[in-house]
Amino acid sequence: MHCGIFGKRLARVAMAEAAVLPPFAAIVVAAGKGERARQGVPKQFALWRGKPVLRHSVEDLLEYGADPVIVAAPPGMLDDARAAVGGDLRVEIVAGGETRQSSVRRSLDVLEGRSCERVLIHDAARPELVRDVVTRLIRALVTDAGAIPVLPVVDSLVVASSGSMGGTADRNAMRRVQTPQAFRFDAIHSAHRAWQGAADAGDDAQVLHAAGGEVTLVDGDERMRKLTFAEDFMDNLPPMRIGSGYDVHRLAEGEELWLGGVRIEHSHGLAGHSDADVALHAIVDALLGAIGAGDIGTHFPPSDAQWKGEASDQFLAHAVRLVTDAGYSVGNIDLTIICEAPKIGPHRDAMRERIALLLGVDIGAVSVKATTTERLGFTGRKEGIAAQAVALVIRQ
């Protein structure tokens, strides 16, 4: 921000003991595109911790006593906004404008004439609201026309000039600004009406400050962070996930035998649409299962002629890419091959090396074991080979 408010003292507003805050309305700005988050939909409608991002802050505002709650949605996406909020929450959806400032202005116009004295303006991209911060903001309006939550700057700052360091900045005079921001309704409404900025306003404090309004700074909270990039949506992922895989192929004469990405000389090979490497197929299913991405047949259907006779290496590479895209990396693999013949022991290390290379992990993260079924069942009769695998993936 360049509104000059950072030079103000950091106001610490004493919290009253009363449990109920004075009445206030709330506006949730959810009209942006959010393309940097790469979620396939505007980020405010994407899922985060099991619910659409937008719903999180709306729930909190209603719980803290906001009435009414106005949601500014992208033009043409009012139904999407309603679906993201859910039909059980009482909110009003309005069409936003081309800029953030115009979206807020439209929302304030909706509130005009409703005896609204205080309003919180919040960005939907910050799904977590902290009650203590909301209380500090509302209480600050006793003395000032506006209040914003801020955090200290802990890193050194420089001024960039054509890709080079052009100077330094005093971080002690700087603050990181969050939302929600609180305002006396008449002050912020008139300030938006008078806004003459050449570009979109960075936030509403900038609009009020430009109109000569006093903006108080209160302590923010690190939990009220903004979701901006795809990595931000990965922070809520479990630290690790586990998947299991199982595959079977029959043995047939005249086929090559591939196990664990290694070709083994044997009287029979495994028959299948691809190279029928049951070991790699089991690992693929385990990885896909760990991230909830279906199974190998979903991604490489046997009905698709392009996979006829193809090496299973590419199936495993695809699974690893999906694991990475989901925000995880491969932790370790435990593979068990079930057969009477051939003997797996002489080929175990070669399989481990090959699998580790395909996964991009250390060989120590790959276990290859073998067992028989004591001549019972189809593997005991040497009619086929089975493999089962367990995969651990770890959040990046």
- Which amino acid appears at position 10 of this protein? L
Alpha carbons 272 and 71: distance in angstroms, whole number: 55
What is the pLDDT at residue 198? 58
CA 391/CA 108 separation, integer angstroms: 52
Backbone Cα Rg of the chain: 29
Per-residue pLDDT, 36: 53
- Cβ-contact 302, 341 below 8 angstroms: no
User: Is the predicted pLDDT of residue 67 greater than 70, yes or no?
Assistant: yes
Residue type for position 156 = S
Go through the domains of the chain in sequence order and give each one's CATH number.
5-234 (3.90.550.10), 240-395 (3.30.1330.50)
CA distance 87 to 23: 24
| pLDDT value of position 167 | 83
Mean pLDDT of the chain: 88
Give the pLDDT of residue 345: 95
Share of the chain above pLDDT 90, in %: 66
Taking the CB of residue 110, how many other CB atoms lie within 10 A of it? Answer: 15
The pLDDT value recorded for residue 4 is 37
Poorest-confidence range of 1-5, 103-107, 110-114? 1-5
pLDDT at 34 over 90: no
Amino acid at 342: P
13 pLDDT higher than 90:
no
Residue 306 has pLDDT above 80, yes or no: no
Structure tokens at 85: 């909020």
